[in-house]
Amino acid sequence: MLIRILPGATQFIDHLDQALRRAPQAQRLTIKQRYFLAFVISAMILTQKLCWATMERRSLGQYTSAALWWMFYRSEIVWHQLLRISVLVIIDRYGLSEGNLLIDDTGRSRCKRTKKIGKTHKIREKKTSGYVNGQELVFLVLQTPLVTIPIDFLNLIGNTGG
């Protein structure tokens, strides 16, 4: 299955870029960054996950996981600013006027050997009451009658086990 950029993803990135231009001290997105973000949004919608290897396979090698990884980690995108402005775009686009701020903590189990996966540590597994290596993420989300969207995140890196 070849991942094609969805028109809705391109429209969202266009609105996001316009909002970035109006924001004080904001960096505009380059053409490559706009294309990358539209591709990643489309791929996440179609595959229902954020995984570079899955995106590489589903694009039939058109996009390598190394290139996607590089764009995500090494391109000069100010992610916190991008997240904040994208939330404002969604609020404006859908005319959202009410909602609740909630905290969502998510534990992501990994495998026994996690030397190549960043910020993993022993976390308590709720199913078995044992410990696994994993990552703990805490999201601040805005819950509205129409949509729930993440507005900030914190990666907990403390060690909770022996």
pLDDT digits (tens, 9 = 90+) for 54-70: 899 888 888 898 999 89
Average pLDDT, the chain: 81
Whether pLDDT at 119 is above 80: no
The per-residue pLDDT for 101 is 87
Q: What percent of the chain has pLDDT over 90?
A: 19
Q: In this predicted model, which residue has the larger pLDDT, 153 or 144?
A: 144
The per-residue pLDDT for 33 is 92
Q: In this predicted model, which residue has the larger pLDDT, 108 or 95?
A: 95
Ordered DSSP codes for the chain: ------HHHHHHHHHHHHHHHHSTTPPPPPHHHHHHHHHHHHHHHHHSS--HHHHHHHTTTSS-HHHHHHHHHHS---HHHHHHHHHHHHHHHHT----EEEEEEEEEE--S--TTSTT-EEEE-TTTSSEEEEEEEEEEEEE-SS-EEEEEEEEE------
